[in-house]
Amino acid sequence: MRTLPPFDGLVAFEAVVRHGSATRAAVELDITQSAVSHRLRRLEAFFSTPLLVRAGTRLGPSPAGVALAAELDGLFEELSSLRARCRAAAGTGVLKVAVGAALADLWLVRRLPAFAAAYPGVAVELVVLASEPEARRADADVQIRWLPPDAARNASTQRVLFVESVFPVCAPDHLPGGRPLDDPGALLRLPLLHKGLGRPETGAEWLWRTWFERLGLGSEPPAGLRFETLGTAIAAALQGAGAVIARSLLVHDALHEGRLSRVLDPSLDMRSSKAHVVRWPPALIGDARVSAFVTWLVGQAEITGGAHPS
């Protein structure tokens, strides 16, 4: 009989190493910090060696922990593809696609009927992801993820779809003639919609504070309505509630149809710090359903104006 390490301990260890914190790992895993500590102690008892050391305010892997973390990368990748292998072996035509809520609601959903018409033999089940931890645990054949630049590159199991611009938009009625403001200072007279609930995210391109500093309007923008997600903030802007800093992909259709307008000249756009990619498990390389969907999705990205770095 095989002697195996406690799997829940491996999961907790991987989360702690990734976050550098047992507290943040506990939040991701939806368990208490004491439960994380208990799982780590059991894992260290199994290996008979410390796996984590504290460096200042962060937890990092010990030399043995570094070795274990390197092994876990491949192990978890293999485990995540088990479902895909079973589904491929069963020959099911259902393709499970996981995507963030804002991208699903504001861009993908209205395009899926075209895929269904072009590929009637492939049924698509759309799964909406609410958070990054949820994306890591997603049970899907294909995922559309929003990733930092070092992880957003083309590979055998991933294609880059969009590198977006970031800029303010609002309903046309808020702007003279529905056209961008000639004077950025007129922003001070617009109701502002904020993404985030006031947590410190200094420097993020989707924060009004960043834009006010760039435009020389001061460092503290006027208070306004706050929304936890960007998708909800854009929905409020579509209802005429005010101006929101949005990503180009999420407002592409609304701008094209005249439901939203740019607040400022495009020369003031900022580049998004992350890019959208589509990825799939190694077990599904060459799978006809995945190939069809990815090819179609890349085509939709090109039509929308997505950038495709190699």
Mean pLDDT of the chain: 85
What's the CA gap between 259 and 122, in Å, rounded? 33
What DSSP element (H or E) covers 53? strand 52-55
**How many angstroms separate the Cα of 168 from the Cα of each of 20, 68, 85, 262?**
34, 45, 44, 6
Percent of the chain with pLDDT over 70: 87
What's the CA gap between 57 and 19, in Å, rounded? 12
Report the pLDDT value the prediction gives residue 260, as an integer from 0 to 100: 97
108 pLDDT exceeds 60?
yes
Report the pLDDT value the prediction gives residue 94, as an integer from 0 to 100: 83
Domains of the chain from N-terminus onward: 7-80 (1.10.10.10), 92-310 (3.40.190.290)
Least reliable range by pLDDT among 4-8, 96-100, 160-164, 303-307? 303-307
- How distant is the alpha carbon of residue 184 from its chain centre? 30
Contact 278, 138 (CB under 8 A): no
pTM, whole model, 2 decimals? 0.70
- Identify the band that residue 310 occupies on the pLDDT scale cut at 50, 70 and 90: very low
Query: Is the model more confident about 296 or about 82?
Result: 296
- Identify the band that residue 242 occupies on the pLDDT scale cut at 50, 70 and 90: very high
Report the pLDDT value the prediction gives residue 305, as an integer from 0 to 100: 73
- Identify the band that residue 26 occupies on the pLDDT scale cut at 50, 70 and 90: confident
- Identify the band that residue 297 occupies on the pLDDT scale cut at 50, 70 and 90: very high
| Positive or negative: CA dihedral 122, 126, 132, 135 | negative
Count of beta carbons in the 10 Å neighbourhood of residue 21: 17
Least reliable range by pLDDT among 29-33, 123-127, 129-133, 139-143? 129-133
Contact 268, 177 (CB under 8 A): no
Contact 269, 173 (CB under 8 A): no
34-90 pLDDT, tens per residue? 888 899 899 889 988 998 888 777 888 888 888 888 888 777 766 666 665 665 555
